[in-house]
Structure 1
């Protein structure tokens, strides 16, 4: 079942919203007495009430009595009620056709699950890795497949090598995650961090993993690719093909390159090109004015020796900036494969 919402702390009726009050009442009425009410709702209202029901959690009996005074006697016998996505689906299944129930509950369960994943986006990678290193590889794979690319990559890099390698393999072959299993994972994450599925197309799995690898620094990237190549050379190659690297920036058209240059600050550009190939320096210089190119050259010379890590960080910032511009539709980028031109 879906991760439960926090128990309503206050016992005053105003602590519940309108949809939550409606959800509590409909749970109490059940399918027999509530069918007439459900039938009067339009699609949007059904979704609103079901989302409230899925997130309702446990409500103290006296708070329920305050909200639904007309039912105080019956509620006094039960003491409390609990709302959940399963309860919402159970009620709907006895009132509406299966296809309508499935459509509504897909949105409801999705909304409930997204609550957990949205909050997970703000959890430190170190904390997530510390928690996941004691979990089964399949569970870790499910969690990482739903974290953002940068956050998921950083978590993966922090896992023990043996576990991380197993997780990568499982993410590449991951099929449909049963809703019951996903619900348990979401509930576990909720309890651990905050209480205190559909099948991906095969190409998408390698795309997701490539995004995770893009978040690594170069030594970590090389380590994971080498380990993966030992077990599955084809998978390693397919990930390489889908990764977007600093060298891919050289495939930008002049307009795209100039847009990127206007976005990146001079210090980042200088550090990125300080350790870049001659071809990369020539490419970016060709898309700048003569004066700007000369100033950039002077700035790089004045830097003196810099650490390779600083170069990697600067190049990563340029790659991230390019991807953000592409996602906004401002530039067009081409990935590693020459025949795989895409707009991100």
Structure 2
């Protein structure tokens, strides 16, 4: 076989193989690679155009003798390469590449703004000056502008609509500056540092602490920011919430993932505590098979008195199993809004 052109780098060869696998519908897990490797690979994909068949076959043979010979056209452009690698490189890597491409190509910042979802654009429409919002609405496709308008409070929407009437004399340079400012502040050129918003992060932490600590932190939050504290309280799910927020049919799905000893300890401690804890314990027992419930009651009778720390730890284990099932999409909790309805 003719030797492959020595000017073809290993990075380019790797990009060719990745493109072949993607073309075959393979899903690759590349996010675990070092960021520099992900960057180099994606840049190579973005730089490639049409690959001649001889080179492709030689690269394929070099990487694997069993790969069928195919001809292909690489994505062409960083954005197309990123679309092809969606979900297969880390968000931080993708954000960095988009930022590099935008700077090098002088990309239109309005394209980044327009690509945002109406839910994300709501922060712009409710927080920026009316004149800026009027320009934003004018640049958006009609359908997206209408959806965004529906997410804005009525009085604010009316004032923005009136402000649009004053945009006829605005200069192209002013529109460009507004687009650049909005893209820089809102379009998210950097990946989020945290996977969840603050309310969810605080709620998750308070789910796993003792009741005394949780109540103390919530009381402090009320003094600092009552609205944030209320949102955190809604995000919290603890053992007393089981009776009202866990669907009866989901009890078996959860209890099967809890160590039997911890389940016995949690139910024993909850019934001894009384109140909502006891209600949740009764709810769990009432919504499993009669045989299993009888077995648990027998073990609870033999368990005796439970130390407070052991009881809280066991109840947290039950709550943790519920949270894991929710995060895994196996079950859904009843929302506090549904309860109020």
Structure 1 length as normaliser, TM-score?
0.45
Which one has more relative contact order, counting CA pairs under 8 Å at least 6 apart?
Answer: 1
The structure with the larger Rg is 2
Structure 2 length as normaliser, TM-score?
0.46
